[in-house]
Amino acid sequence: MPLDAGHRLGPYEIREPLGAGGMGEVYRARDTRLHRDVAIKVLSPQLAADPEALGRFEREARAIAALSHPNILAIYDVGKDGGVSFVVTELLEGETLRTRLQKGALPARDALACATRVARALATAHDKNLVHRDLKPENVFLTHDGQVKLLDFGLAKPTVASALGAGGDDSPTVTSHTRAGLVLGTVGYMSPEQARGREADPRSDLFAFGAVLYEMIAGKRAFFGPTPADTISAILTTDPPRLSSTSSTATALDAIAHRCLAKNAAERYQSARELLAALESAAEVESGASPLAHATAVDGTTSIAVLPFADMSPSKDQDYFCEGMAEEILSALGQIEGLRVAARTSTFQFKGKTEDIRVIGEALHVSKVLEGSVRTAGTRLRVTAQLINVADGYRLWSERYDREMEDVFAIQDEIAQSVVNALKLTLVEPELPEGGQKHTKDVEAYHLYMKGRHHRYKQEFRDALKLYEQAVERDPGYAVARAGIAAVCVLLANYGLMRPRIAFARCEEELEHAMALAGETADVKCVEAWYRSAYEWDPDTALAAGRRAIELDPDHIVAHAWHGLILSCIGRNDEAVAVTRRTIELDPLSPYGFGMMALALLMAGRNEECITVAREGLALAPDHSLSLWPLSYACIALGRTVEAIEHMNRLVANSNRACFFLSVLGYAKARAGDEAGARAILEEFLERSKREYVGPIFSVRILANLGDIDAAVAKYEQSAAQRDPFAMFVGVPGLELLENDPRFRALKKKMGVSA
């Protein structure tokens, strides 16, 4: 029965009705003791008449009141007067998210802000073991002063189940006691497990969160059918379409929403805290207010992105050359004071895509974009280039070059100088600075080097080595090609693709040649740092070399990443994370940067953060191995072995059963209790070792977690004796069972490493 104005419920005087919901009617009221306006929800007769439900309601109300979170509707009081049960809350002025969505989708920035506040509310409540169970736009309130409040947290649990479709509501609440087999939630937002009548857990709230987030950015529901039964069927069997967007923020939110909407709860974010970390990362990049977004913030300096040049050759076989042309120009422009140049990996994300220049400019946070094309015919070369203003899409400069192939270096310099002139920049030197870009006068050696670099970026290290070697055969004085050989030898050793002593001996030789030919360069000092650490076990000299590499080129992505890796190996984890984070600051669309950051977090024991960052890398490159294997180790550490095994099966297949990735799979199987599967991988290692190099380190974690500690320590000792780089990675999970073994502790001390 509706209450009239002036009706008293204890000290609260009813002023006017505000609305009605599944739990009862809501009124504006006056608290006569504290002289403030409040909202009073008068509970429905069905709920008030059930002692068990009413008792649970009061207990949950007290628990939520104790949360005192700015993004959760504050509960002031619960009471009963004249047979009327009620709850008193703060009074909100504004509109629900449902009302706002009737006007259309939210701008990406607004959706991100709203989602972040809701996630904070969920995280706080989940920490207190409170699950919402009915998150939907009706339960998110947007106040006039910009606040976001989550309503009915943990309270939407009436006692009488409504029939599907009753009352003609297109998104009815279907609820019951939490008895097994009965449905609880709102059609369109309930998780698959709720739709099947199973108990909701915090990950069920994250599914509903994903549905709400999707609706905010898409302007339509993630799951909707002509009847509630059809909607439930969609939840159980289909995925909402991915959104194509001109906004990098909306793209990030779409990825977050889809992960929340995974049918299998194990594939979602595993906590609201993990979800919140992903949203806050997106917010940092969006705002440019954090260190992570520093490199992309608009700070008043002129900024430019150099896109990979398009291959216009008839045979379409100049991909490596087109990438190399763009990278050489990018490197030359990067030496100019007053010009901020977007990093290579970020710009190369747009290779082969037909995005509008304004979209690319927004994603890379640059004001100018240089694009071009390359066409080769025999020894003839045609290069076109144009500089475009992002704001209006107008060309500021364009040119075509028809030359002989041997003129490629002159063309690169001319393009860079023309860009400088078009931008009217003041140079430190009278003309374009001379970098180490004219590596050789031998054009064929240059092509071989660029092909090698192309394969190195694709993590095809053996192919890269052969091409670098061919470049050096043609020009023994080719310093950057020799530095490339040294770097690739280190990578081959890291992944167990070459015997470490052979790889490091070759690395040392090529470093000496490169240093003699070109002096100190960031490339050389970067590789030297890892050589001193992994081969000579000399962390002090290694760190000095790493710092020198960064001094020589503060924007060198790999220098920051490898310096951070050395810090991780010696247990200086906070420093490692800070240094490695710089790779993402410099190159925010780089899967490599996210992979190395995930590794630093993994070795620091920050597993949930590792998973979040690794998934950001995978959003950029779905099969990126450097993101997948740290992600898998973190999943194993958190007991999510099924997920880890799925990831590693994929990676093992993609890598033609590379031993490095097989070792992670074997470790996951051992932790999952699949002894037969783990031992089968050990047998495969034994068989393959008869015809190829198989690092002993690959068996260590499997043996340790099968309980064979003596065999595991023996293999670790062999690995250290061979100077296997992966033996340095003691912070990577799986070695915990060896920590009490004095042989293992002594060897760690000798190597200078620490978890």
By annotation, the residues acting in catalysis are 134
CA distance to 327, 365, 403, 528, 658, per residue, from 331 (Å): 6, 18, 22, 22, 34
Quickly tell me which residue has 């104005």 as its tokens. Answer: 5
How far apart CA 126 and CA 454 sit, in angstroms, is: 47
Tokens of 312: 């216009």
Q: Which parts of 390-440 are beta strand (E)?
A: 395-404
How far apart CA 245 and CA 656 sit, in angstroms, is: 35
Cα 723 to the center of its chain, rounded Å: 32
Handedness of CA 384, 388, 392, 393 (dihedral sign): positive
Strand, coil or helix: 606: coil
Are the C-beta atoms of 31 and 21 separated by less than 8 Å? no
Give Dmax over CA atoms of the chain in angstroms. Answer: 97
Reduced DSSP (H G I as helix, E B as strand, rest coil) percent helix, strand, coil of the chain, to 5: 55, 15, 35
How far apart CA 125 and CA 200 sit, in angstroms, is: 14
CA distance to 22, 178, 268, 687, per residue, from 194 (Å): 19, 10, 15, 48
Tokens of 22: 């599944």
Quickly tell me which residue has 């896109």 as its tokens. Answer: 307
Strand, coil or helix: 248: helix
CA distance to 19, 112, 161, 592, 753, per residue, from 610 (Å): 45, 22, 42, 14, 21
Are the C-beta atoms of 516 and 523 separated by less than 8 Å? no
Are the C-beta atoms of 425 and 339 separated by less than 8 Å? yes
How far apart CA 277 and CA 586 sit, in angstroms, is: 20
Residues 6+ apart with CB under 8 A from 389: 367, 368, 395, 396
Looking at 655-727, list the stretches that DSSP marks H as alpha helix, in order from N- to C-terminal side.
659-671, 675-688, 697-705, 709-721
What phi, psi does 717 have (nearest 5°)? -65, -40
Polymer length in residues for the chain: 755
Q: Which of 361, 100, 339 is nearest to 219 (CA)?
A: 100
How far apart CA 457 and CA 465 sit, in angstroms, is: 12
Residue 46 Rama label (left phi>0; alpha psi -120 to 50; beta): alpha
CA distance to 190, 241, 279, 623, per residue, from 254 (Å): 19, 10, 11, 19
Q: Which of 214, 251, 258, 215 is nearest to 353 (CA)?
A: 251
- Bridge partners (DSSP) of residue 88 are 40, 77
381-386-387 Cα angle (round to 5): 145
Q: Are strands 368-377 and 302-306 parallel, antiparallel or unpaired?
A: parallel
CA distance to 335, 404, 414, 437, 611, per residue, from 407 (Å): 22, 6, 11, 14, 47
How far apart CA 315 and CA 298 sit, in angstroms, is: 40
What phi, psi does 355 have (nearest 5°)? -65, 145
SS3 readout for 466-511: HHHHHHHHHCCCCHHHHHHHHHHHHHHHHCCCCCHHHHHHHHHHHH
How far apart CA 627 and CA 530 sit, in angstroms, is: 20
